[in-house]
Amino acid sequence: MTGYQEILTDPSYCGQLITMTYPHIGNYGVNPADVESEKVHASGFIVREENIIPSNYRSVQSLGDYLREQNIVGIQGIDTRMLTRIIRDEGAMNGIISTTDLNENSLLKKVKAAPPMEGLDLATVVSCEESYVWGKETGNRKQVLRQTQQPGAGNRELRAKSQQPTANYKVAAIDFGIKHNILRLLESHGCVVTVFPAKTTAEEIMDFNPDGVFLSNGPGDPAAVTYAIKTVKQILGKKPVFGICLGHQILALALGARTFKLKFGHRGCNHPVKNLKTGVVEITSQNHGFAVDPDSIPENVDITHISLNDKTTEGIRCKDIPAFSVQYHPESSPGPHDSRYLFQEFIDIMREPRREPQGHRDTEVKNI
C-alpha cells in the first residue's frame, strides 16, 4: 500500500521487475524527499491499477509521471495477486516487459537469454564511483540535494544547526547499494560517515582509520562479490563491523559461512523476526533473495535473530571480535522502530575499542 517510491529507488532492486499486490498504487504520489538513492534502480514496475490523481500535501507528481521522467517502464491491468501466487508456487523467475516486440516466441527467447541472479555481481553497478562524506560533499547526490530544495519536498535532509547531532564517531560505509535512510540514521547517532565504493580495499579503509566499518545493503548474489569478502576478511578484528542485508551476507561469507538462493526471497514490511537473546519479536522490513546457511556458520559466531516465517538466519554476531549483522532493514519503519536499537549497538562496539574514560563523550551519544 505504501513505500513504492522507496522501493523503486532502493539500489537493492537493481535489474528486477517489481510487482505490488495492493490493487491501487500511487495514492499519495511522489516527492523528492522520500527517495533512497539518486534514481530509480528497478527495471520495471507492475501494478493492478495506477492512481493518476494522487492526494497528499507533500506530493509533487504522480507515480506514472515519475516513472516516465525516469525512463522506467510501468504496466497496469495485471492481476498482481495471481502473479504473486505464481511466484510463491514456482519461485522467482526472469520476466520481460515490452512495448515494441510483441511476438511471444521472440520475447521468450529474450527472457531465456537473460542471466540468472545466481553468480551475478550487481554491487559495482549501483555503487558510488568515488568516496564522499554524507551531508557535506554531494558526490553522486547532486540531483537529490537539488530536488530536496524544491517547494513541497519536505525537510528530511535539511536541518537547522541546532538539530545537527554531535559528531563522535568516524564511520567508513562501503557502498554496495546503500540507502539514504541508513546514512541518515548513522548521522543521527553521532557518526560522520564517509561512503566508499564497493571495490575499496582493506588497505584504503585502514589508511582512513575509521572507528567502525559499515557494510551496506545491495543487489545481486553475495558470493559473487568476492572483492568485498576479501576486504572484510582483512578488516575483521581490526575495526568494528556492522552489516545490513547484502552486508550481512558478505560478513557471513568472510567468516567462512555459505549463502544460498531462496525460492522467492523475503519482500515487504511485515516479516516477524525473533531476537534470540531477548526473546522479543520484531516486525521487520525485508528485501533479499539470498540467505545465510545456518549449518555453515562457524563455532565462533552466534545466530542472534531468526525468521519466524521460515526459520532462516536473520542476524549473526562474532563471539571474539566486534562484528555483527542483520539480514533485515532496521532503518525502515514497519514496527515502526522495533529494530533501531541496532544502530546504538554499533555505537557501543565502536566505543569499546577506544577505551575512553566515561564522561562527556558517552553522555552525548546516549542523549542523541
Q: Does the annotation mark 282 as catalytic?
A: no
Element (H, E) at 105: helix 104-113
Taken as a whole, the chain contains a residue count of 368
Q: Does the annotation mark 329 as catalytic?
A: yes
248-298 pLDDT, tens digit per residue, is: 999 999 999 999 999 999 998 889 999 999 999 999 999 999 999 999 999
Query: How high does pLDDT run on average in the chain?
Result: 88
Residue 310 in grid coordinates = 521460515
pTM here is 0.87
346-361 pLDDT, tens digit per residue, is: 999 999 865 443 333 3
| 13 vs 262: CA distance, rounded Å | 16
Q: In the chain, what are the domain boundaries?
A: 4-113, 123-366
Kindly write down the DSSP assignment for every residue of 249-310, as one continuous string. Answer: HHHHHHTT--EEEEEEEEEEEEEEEEETTT-PEEEEEEEEEEEE-GGG--TTEEEEEEETTT
Q: How many DSSP H helices and E strands does the chain contain? A: 12, 15
Cβ contact 212:241 at 8 Å: yes
Residue 2: pLDDT band (50, 70, 90) is confident
Nearest to 290 by CA among 175, 121, 45: 121
Of residues 245, 288, 305, 314, which has the active-site annotation? 245
146-176 pLDDT, tens digit per residue, is: 333 343 333 333 333 334 556 689 999 999 9
pLDDT mean over 214-228? 97
Sign for the pseudo-dihedral over CA of 327, 313, 325, 278 = positive
Nearest to 213 by CA among 308, 324, 108: 324
What fold characterizes domain 4-113? Glucose Oxidase; domain 1 (3.50.30)
Cβ contact 256:296 at 8 Å: yes
Does 365 score more than 70 pLDDT? no
92-126 pLDDT, tens digit per residue, is: 999 999 999 999 999 999 999 999 889 999 999 99
pLDDT mean over 42-54? 96
Of residues 189, 266, 271, 329, which has the active-site annotation? 329
| 95 vs 107: CA distance, rounded Å | 9
The CATH number of the domain covering residues in 123-366: 3.40.50.880
